Amino acid sequence: MLICFQNLIIAQKYKFIFEFKIIVSMQKIAFVDRDGVINDDTGHYYVYNVEDVKLTEGLISAFKLLDDAGYKIVIVTNQGGIAKGIYTNKEVELIHSNLCKLLKQQGIQEPELYYCPHHESVELCLCKKPQGLLLSKALARFRADNELSFMIGDRETDLKAAEDAGIRGYKVETNKGILSLVKQIVLA
């Protein structure tokens, strides 16, 4: 009987350690839409040239706050111009690469990029916002806590994607920046 009791204590001890590791490894993710939120897309229906990227006001400060607060930053964007043949995956990735270099110079972690290259006029898919698949994939990949994660976007499709993925969604005015919202979230 004593052996069984000792085994139970050991099993409970390891179960606690296992549960503690799961809790500790849970991350919080700040999902951010690209066009109209990260970059000002005034005058552009599609932004696919590096020289057309103009960061919204306060973006670097907002990302610094998120980074300092321990959020993993994940950019989630629909890029239907790829399916339409207007631009390529390579051009989307070049914009992301340049953004990462800029953020790294400011001491901010490199954000992840999840994008949908499809457009409903060419082909149907499950990854285009308002579907929450891209967000759900990132939540699973990084073992993120849905309660601590959120999405910032400028369209109803962003909010619907957040709802679909089981996280909070915040809508901001297009091309107006996210700093004040990020301050409210992080400093609350």
Q: Where are the domains of the chain?
A: 28-186
Question: How many CB atoms neighbour CB 171 within 10 A?
Answer: 17
Selected catalytic residue, list 33, 40, 41, 154: 33
CA-derived radius of gyration, the chain: 20
Q: Which two tokens stand for residue 159?
A: 């909010």
Asked if pLDDT for residue 38 goes beyond 60, the answer is yes
DSSP three-state, residue 69: coil
Topology classification of domain 28-186: Rossmann fold (3.40.50)
The pLDDT of residue 180? 97
DSSP bridge pairs for 77: 115
Residue-wise pLDDT tens digits, 93-121: 999 999 999 889 989 999 999 999 999 99
116, 129 contact by CB (below 8 A):
yes
What span, in angstroms and rounded, lies between the C-alpha atoms of 82 and 116?
9
Residue 41 falls in the annotated catalytic set:
no
* Residues 139, 21 contacting (CB under 8 angstroms): no
Torsion of CA 93, 97, 99, 105, to 10 degrees: 170
Collapsed DSSP state (helix, strand, coil) of residue 151: strand
Cβ-contact 181, 152 below 8 angstroms: yes
At 68-89, the pLDDT tens digits run 999 999 999 999 999 999 999 9
d(CA 147, CA 72): 14
Residue 18 has pLDDT above 90, yes or no: no
The answer to whether 164 is a known catalytic residue is no
* pLDDT tier for residue 26 given thresholds of 50, 70 and 90: confident
| 174: pLDDT strictly greater than 80 | yes
DSSP symbols for 99-117 = HHHHHHHTT-PPPEEEEE-
- Here the tokens at position 71 are 């959020």
Tokens, residue 165? 């993925």
Asked whether the beta carbons of 53 and 47 are under 8 A apart, the reply is: yes
What tens digit of pLDDT does each residue of 107-163 get? 999 999 999 999 999 998 999 999 999 999 999 999 999 999 999 999 999 999 999
